[in-house]
Amino acid sequence: MKETIKKNYKLSWVLSLALVSILALLFAACNNTNLDDMKNIPKVEEGANQRQIYVKDIAYRFSSQTTFNHVPTKVPTDIKLVLWDNSYQEVDYYFFRKFNNWFNDLKFNQGIQSLGNNGESLDCENYAMLYKSTMSIANFKSGQKKEIAVGLVVVRQDYEFAKIPANGGLHMLNLVLTKRGWFMFEPQTNEFILLEDYPNQEAIQYVIF
């Protein structure tokens, strides 16, 4: 199995950057920024059907090029897979849809919908880390004890997806593990697609949970 699985604490900059991203986006994006939206962050409904996902299960699925629903993918087996925790909480599909609507409103209300117009101060990795971080906050506020299964994906953008043009360069978006499938989520446009249908799945480089 060629897959690399790491708990690399030298990569702690990822978490630091995620926090910096939230602060930068929410406080520096516009002069009238406030945090009222954060008070209304969605919560996972009590009794939601969420499985516990272990590291070995995630590793096996990527190495065998299948999802938890046994759907085949074309994600390379030599991707770099970084897992920070021992297990994760599956994302409830209805919460996923509800959270996406809230996230879209957050971007609109805080004036942070740029689609690349703000240069490197507000580009793809900022959006992806903001999405992962705010969903983790929502999970925590719901009283969940396990980290939620939403990851950061670094991919070579060979084909257009979700209004993000193909340029052959590196791009970052999110992977969300739900019982209804594994979804690639583009946080800049709020569009998502099943991993097995994602046009750039063969160009994925890193997945970070």
- CATH number of the domain enclosing 169: 3.30.460.70
Question: In terms of pLDDT, which residue wins out, 18 or 188?
Answer: 188
Contacts of 38 (CB under 8 A, 6+ apart): 26, 137
For range 167-187, the mean pLDDT: 96
Residues 6+ apart with CB under 8 A from 35: 26
Domain extent at residue 150: 4-208
Q: What is the pLDDT of residues 80-102, one digit of tens each?
A: 999 999 999 999 999 999 999 99
Residues 98-151: tens digit of each pLDDT: 999 999 998 888 777 655 555 555 689 989 999 999 999 999 998 888 999 999
**Separation between Cα atoms, residue 125 and residue 68, nearest integer Å:** 26
Per-residue pLDDT at 144: 87
Quote the number of domains for the chain: 1
